[in-house]
Amino acid sequence: MKQRIRIGCGAGFSGDRLDPSVILAKEGDLDYLILECLAERTIALAQKRKRQDPNKGYDPLLERRVTSLLPLLVEKGIRLITNMGAANPIAAAKKVVEIAQNLGLKVKVAAVYGDDVFDDIDPSVSAMETGKPLTASGELISANAYLGVEGILDALNNNAQIIITGRVADPSLCLAPMIYDLGWSENNYDLMGKGTVIGHLLECAGHITGGYFADPIKKPVEGMDSLGHPFADVFADGSAVISKVAGTGGIVNLQTAKEQLLYEVINPYEYITPDVVADFTTVRLAEVGAHQVRVTGGTGKVKPPSYKVSVGYKAFYLGEGEISYAGPHALARAQLAGDIIERRIRSLVAPQGDVFQDVRIDYIGWNAVHRTTFGTPSPKESYQTVSPPEVRLRVAVKAKTPEEAALIGEEVEALYTNGPAGGGGVRKYVNEIIGIVSVLMDRSHISPKISLFES
């Protein structure tokens, strides 16, 4: 067994930059490269794409990422573990083989699946978030369990160099190679907890190197345009040192590490994953060099008896319309436009019944984020005194059909000649919104599987 391995994380979400992972592969001296590209809504949207084309449903950027990385991975002997398989890991693995063949490269690819439990889900089960049966949410379109390390370990034991998974818990992508190379037992929950802490620190990629952390006034970060993504030297005792490639932008320090450690952690005593219930309260962080943070501590207890299952459903259609007003009395003109739209919406709804479930009017630049009355003039003031120099009106509605949702954009566009003076820059959108709820499923009913392919 090895005493140390180096794991880099080159992506923290589906739309992440492509170049940090290439830099990690080229200059990071890695054993493993992790690409974490799958969020709750991401996989539900992937299931929609798979329904439309059974050969799709994997991450839209898979081909570009793999094409740029594969020659480096083969040259340097780096193993890639990624959840870019999304709703269709097998199709994703076949696509990787096709790319390898086109590049004249020989690789062994594993698809890890078994997380899709849509056919086994009980619609009468209550969602964790609402307490209501799943059927109350709307038409169900997906159900994916958060798998742990088992399938990835199987792929590693079968000497796969590229491992493409579906829904796997984020820290598990990093924990699996620790178990495999450092000789850890899956029943050693102290080490499982420590490894989960390290995986959690790495999983969001640029978060721990200054991305999302940065504030130009309070927390300045240099080189954000060339932000480096992190790697961790993980040792057999469960400790690690997190750093980044020399010369890349960003920072790794106690502040960035602490913010990522607490990210999405509701109960630090019991951070529940498929592999372990981790305890973050004993974690210790220390800066041991420039852009180097040492991680020690953390523990865990027995893995939970259930898998969390993320269930996607058709929530509603979102109709939006935007228009800008600038110059004197910009806010007053925008508010007049908003009042016109509100009245028009009522007249549109009246003959048809309850078309719009919800309506929201924002004045971007004044109250769209805080949703307060900041800047409302007092009786002694005028709008000219407190009004921002420019305001963008945004109107959004929830609708039952795309046709109904489109009416809002049409009404906003009509403000060009039927609304206040000086409106411009109209944009209109209609999107189907996918909602997400969660349930628990007995883990004995779910079996991770792998399929192997070679170029």
Tell me the pLDDT tens digit for each residue of 22-76: 999 999 999 999 999 998 888 888 988 998 999 999 999 999 999 999 999 999 9
DSSP annotation of 159? T
378 vs 295, residue with greater confidence? 295
Angle at 200 between CA 289 and CA 281, to 5 degrees: 80
CATH number at residue 346: 3.30.300
- Residues 14, 79 share a domain: yes
Q: Do 190 and 303 belong together in one domain?
A: yes
Q: Please compute, for residue 54, the number of CA atoms within 13 A of its CA located in the half-sphere on the CB side.
A: 0
Tens of pLDDT, residues 392-430: 999 999 998 999 999 999 999 999 999 999 999 999 999
Contact 365, 324 (CB under 8 A): no
Residue 2's SS3 state is: coil
For the segment 197-225, the average pLDDT, to the nearest whole number, is: 97
Residues 38 and 310: their CA atoms lie apart, in Å, by 12
Please list, in sequence order, all residues whose beta carbon lies within 8 angstroms of the beta carbon of residue 62, skipping any fewer than 6 positions away: 84, 92, 95, 96
Query: Do 191 and 261 belong together in one domain?
Result: yes
* Res 373: pLDDT: 55
- At 270, list the tokens: 């019991």
390 plus 412 within the same structural domain: yes
Tokens 């898979």 belong to 62
151 part of a folded domain: yes
Are 80 and 170 part of one and the same domain? yes
User: With bands split at pLDDT 50, 70 and 90, how would you rate the model's confidence at 378?
Assistant: low
Question: Token pair for residue 371?
Answer: 């949703």
Question: In this predicted model, what pLDDT tens digit does every residue of 309-340 receive, in sequence order?
Answer: 999 999 999 999 999 999 999 999 999 999 99
Q: Distance (Å, rounded) from C-alpha 90 to C-alpha 136?
A: 32
Are residue 173 and residue 321 in the same domain, yes or no?
A: no
**Alpha-carbon distance 90 to 112, whole Å?**
8
Both 293 and 395 in one domain: the answer is no
Residues 358, 252 share a domain: no
pLDDT digits (tens, 9 = 90+) for 64-108: 999 999 999 999 999 999 999 999 999 999 999 999 999 999 999
Residues 6+ apart with CB under 8 A from 139: 313, 314
**What per-residue confidence (pLDDT) applies to 371?**
63
126: in domain: no
pTM of the model: 0.93
136 belongs to a structural domain:
no
**Residue 110 is encoded by which pair of tokens?**
């594993």
Query: Based on the domain organization, do 357 and 226 belong to the same domain?
Result: no
Amino acid 68: pLDDT: 98
Q: What is the mean pLDDT of residues 345-356?
A: 67
In a domain, 73, yes or no: yes
Where residue 376 falls among pLDDT bands split at 50, 70, 90? low
Kind of pairing between the strands at 162-165 and 108-113: parallel
User: What end-to-end distance do the CA atoms of the chain give, in Å?
Assistant: 29
Mean of per-residue pLDDT scores for the chain: 93
The answer to whether residues 210 and 107 belong to one domain is: yes
For 240-269, write each residue's pLDDT tens digit.
999 999 999 999 999 999 999 999 999 999
Question: Could you give the number of structural domains in the chain?
Answer: 2
How much is the pLDDT for 387?
Answer: 72
- Residue 384 has what pLDDT? 46
Check whether 385 has a pLDDT greater than 70.
Answer: no
Q: Which pLDDT value is given to residue 44?
A: 87
- What 3-state DSSP class applies to 55? coil
pLDDT at position 383, please?
44
Q: Which residues contact 185 (CB under 8 A, 6 or more apart)?
A: 179, 191
CA dist 58 and 45 (Å) reads 10
Q: Say if 138 falls within a structural domain.
A: no
Residue 286 confidence (pLDDT) above 50: yes
> Does residue 129 form part of some domain?
no
pLDDT at residue 349, rounded to an integer: 64
DSSP letters along 313-346, please?
EEEEEEEEEEEEEESTTHHHHHHHHHHHHHHHHH
Residue 374: which pLDDT band, with cuts at 50, 70 and 90? low
Give tens-digit pLDDT for 144-198. Answer: 999 999 999 999 999 999 999 999 999 999 999 999 999 999 999 999 999 999 9
Q: Which domain holds residue 369?
A: 312-437
**Cα 208 from Cα 204, distance rounded (Å):** 7
- List all residues 6 or more positions away from 422 whose beta carbon is below 8 Å from its beta carbon: 325, 326, 327, 333
Task: Indicate if 324 and 389 belong to the same structural domain.
Answer: yes
Of 120-129, 214-223, 365-374, 433-442, the one with minimum mean pLDDT is 365-374
Token output for 323: 């228009």
β-strand 79-82 against 162-165: which pairing, if any?
parallel
Considering the domain architecture, whether residues 63 and 43 belong to the same structural domain is answered as yes
Which residues neighbour 105 within 8 Å (Cβ) at sequence distance 6 or greater?
A: 70, 71, 74, 455
Residue 124 within any structural domain of the chain: no
How far is residue 18's CA from residue 33's CA, in Å, rounded to a whole number? 13
Tell me the two tokens of residue 311: 């269930």
**How would DSSP label each residue in 97-115?**
HHHHHHHT---EEEEEE--
Does residue 135 lie within any of the structural domains? no
Looking at residue 336, its pLDDT comes to 96
pLDDT at 188: 97
